[in-house]
Amino acid sequence: MTESTGSVLEIRDLHVTVGEGDETKEILRGVDLTIRSGETHAIMGPNGSGKSTLAYSIAGHPKYTITGGTVTLDGEDVLEMTVDERARAGLFLAMQYPVEVPGVSVSNFLRTAKTAVSGEAPKLRTWVKDVRTEMEALEMDSAFAERNVNEGFSGGEKKRHEILQMGLLKPKIAILDETDSGLDVDALRVVSEGVNRAKANSAVGVLLITHYTRILRYIEPDFVHVFVAGRVVEEGGKELADKLEAEGYASYLKADAEAAAIS
């Protein structure tokens, strides 16, 4: 998709809390990230570091309160947009735990979403072909389209369904929240190939959130960001992932604890 080249998602000093009153907890504590079309960024971090909060905050989940900073897509203020406006602007979030929507078929859902994102109903013939091609590539049975959205899906089916949507909706920037979690090797390969196909087809910028380095063997990151306690603590190329693979997060956590003790 040519018009997506040149897109840039800029996150500046983003602060996010959850909860209200005395229960308020700051999860993101000044996140800076820039993701451009065609780039793949991996965000790696231990559990509870705020990786998913970052993903959901960008997508606009109402549970999270933005207390500071900015998020812009090609200069437009993302934080001012409703959830659906963000998607129509070109953002996509592949969720770690996709939600079941009983009574709504996958085919109806996909068509409705595509119509919303592109502003007009897709041409029936090409659309049916696109869906079928994409599903075949993701090794999904055609009967899948008649099932209800995520209802009774296995973990692997849910993730394939997320990547199916990414392939069909053609976002400018896609955030993949632990898409690799819970997948066996075959499913991981299929899902990763789906992401790589989307990258090749549309130069989508990818923000890949993961706990493990495993998926990075299939999807090669241009940048790796280590995320600890609500912010990026180290950045580098893919060699940084190798270091994490070997050493884990212990040294970062220790440094963070020391920093917290001093401050």
Partner 1 sequence: MPENQTPDTIAGPAESAALASELFADGVGAQAGPPTTPAEGTGGPAGAHSHGGPAPTGSPAERFTSTDPDDFPVVTGREEEWRFTPLKRVRTLLEGAASGARLEVETDLPAGVELTTVGADDPLLKGLPEPVDRLAALTRVNAGGATVVRIPAEAQLDRPVTLSMRGSGAADVVWGMTVIEVGAFAEATVVLDHSGRANYSGGVAVVVGDGARVELVSVQDWAPGAVHGGQYDAVVGRDATYTQVVVTLGGDLVRLVSNVDYTSTGGTADLSGVYFADETQHQEHRLWVDHSTPNCTSNVVYKGALQGEQAHTVWVGDVRIRPAATGTETYELNRNLVLTDGARADSVPNLEIETGEIVSAGHASATGRFDDEQLFYLCSRGIDAETARRLVVRGFFADVVQKIGVPALADRLMGSIEQRLGALPGLEEQEHPEGELQPA
Contact between 210 and partner 1 (CB under 8 A)?
A: no
Nearer to partner 1, 66 or 238 (CB): 66
* Phi (first) and psi of residue 124, to 5 degrees: -55, -50
CB atoms within 10 A of CB 108: 15
Contact between 98 and partner 1 (CB under 8 A)?
A: yes
# residues contacting partner 1 (CB under 8 A): 44
Nearer to partner 1, 120 or 239 (CB): 120
Contact between 141 and partner 1 (CB under 8 A)?
A: no
User: How far, in Å, CA of 106 to CA of 162, rounded?
Assistant: 11
Contact between 107 and partner 1 (CB under 8 A)?
A: no
Contact between 60 and partner 1 (CB under 8 A)?
A: yes
Cα-Cα-Cα-Cα dihedral sign, residues 153, 46, 191, 111: positive
Contact between 169 and partner 1 (CB under 8 A)?
A: yes
User: How far, in Å, CA of 51 to CA of 55, rounded?
Assistant: 7
CB atoms within 10 A of CB 173: 26
Nearer to partner 1, 167 or 186 (CB): 167
CB 26 within 8 A of CB 17: yes
- One residue of 14, 93, 215, 219 binding partner 1 per CB under 8 A: 93
Nearest to 221 by CA among 253, 245, 250: 245
Contact between 83 and partner 1 (CB under 8 A)?
A: yes
Beta bridge partners of 72: 10, 77
Contact between 53 and partner 1 (CB under 8 A)?
A: yes
- One residue of 5, 82, 133, 201 binding partner 1 per CB under 8 A: 82
Contact between 29 and partner 1 (CB under 8 A)?
A: no
For 174, the token pair is: 């896609």
Nearer to partner 1, 102 or 152 (CB): 102
